[in-house]
Structures are given as C-alpha cells and as structure tokens.
Amino acid sequence: MLKRAREKLPESVTKAERFEIPKIRGHIQGNRTVLSNFYQIAATLHRPPEHLLKFILKELATPGELKKTAAIIGTKVSASRVNEKIQKYAETYVICPECKKPDTKLIKEEGVTILRCLACGARKPVR
C-alpha cells in the first residue's frame, strides 16, 4: 500500500533537491564577458567570490577581475561554459562527497585545504 501511495505522489513532492545553483547572467562587452550575478552565485555557494573567480579563471585559462557589481572575464566566453565550470566548482569545493549535501566549510590545516561537512562530519582534502 505504501509503495502505491508513493507512486501516486506528484514529482515535486518526492524531489529532494534543495540546493540549486543559479544560472549565470551576463553579456559580452567588446572582447570581454561581464558576469552580472556572480556575487549572488558565490553567496549561494557560501564561498568567497575571489576563490570562485580564481577557480573559473584557471579552468578557462583566461585573465579576469572582480568589480563592485560584477566579475569580468578577459575573453568572450559562453554562459554555458561558465555554468559548467561553476558546476565543477560546486562538485569539488561545496558538495560533500559522502552525504551529497551542500552544508560544507573549507578549512585550512597545516597548509592543506580540507572540505568539512557540517551535516555528516566527513572530512576530505581538496586541491
């Protein structure tokens, strides 16, 4: 009976996704890409914008900088590529490898950065 009841539930009730990364909004200005909601994404991930930008710039092998309201990438980059890199960042530096929850914190211990999960207590060194 319980199995049949679960099958009849709408998909929105059974969906367990509580962590959703916003898609990047931006535009191309000359030969640069301006990411207008970059600070919002960094806040959603609970990570410093500088750390997120450093990762994205290293992955894209391009120069860039943070301004007061946006991040600027030194080349033309599609939004889909930036979203892929943000997703990769989240998998590496935000989501717990054990319980798959985003409730984590980056801690430096003896020169090694460790991803510590606040939900399950797991600890994993990250590059």
Looking at the structure, tell me whether residues 108 and 85 fall in a common domain.
no
- Residue 105 belongs to domain spanning: 98-127
The Cα 24–Cα 84 span in angstroms is 10
The residue ranking higher by pLDDT, 18 or 111, is 111
Looking at the structure, tell me whether residues 113 and 63 fall in a common domain.
no
Looking at the structure, tell me whether residues 111 and 71 fall in a common domain.
no
- Total tally of structural domains belonging to the chain: 2
Which position has the token pair 């490898």?
97
Looking at the structure, tell me whether residues 90 and 122 fall in a common domain.
no
Q: Is residue 111 pLDDT above 90, yes or no?
A: no
Contact, 98 vs 117, CB < 8 A? yes
Residues near 118 by Cβ (< 8 Å), separated by ≥ 6? 103, 104, 105
The Cα 42–Cα 21 span in angstroms is 9
Q: Is 1 domain-assigned?
A: no
Long-range CB contact pairs, 55-61, < 8 A, 24+: 55/85, 55/89, 55/93, 56/82, 56/85, 56/86, 56/89, 59/85, 59/88, 60/85
Q: Is 5 domain-assigned?
A: no
Looking at the structure, tell me whether residues 54 and 111 fall in a common domain.
no
Looking at the structure, tell me whether residues 86 and 39 fall in a common domain.
yes
Looking at the structure, tell me whether residues 62 and 110 fall in a common domain.
no
- The per-residue pLDDT for 31 is 92
Looking at the structure, tell me whether residues 88 and 58 fall in a common domain.
yes
Looking at the structure, tell me whether residues 77 and 110 fall in a common domain.
no
* Mean pLDDT calculated for residue range 117-127: 85
Q: Is 16 domain-assigned?
A: no
Task: Determine the 3-state secondary structure of 125 from DSSP.
Answer: strand
Q: What is the pLDDT of residues 65-80, one digit of tens each?
A: 999 989 999 999 998 9
Which position has the token pair 């889909």?
80
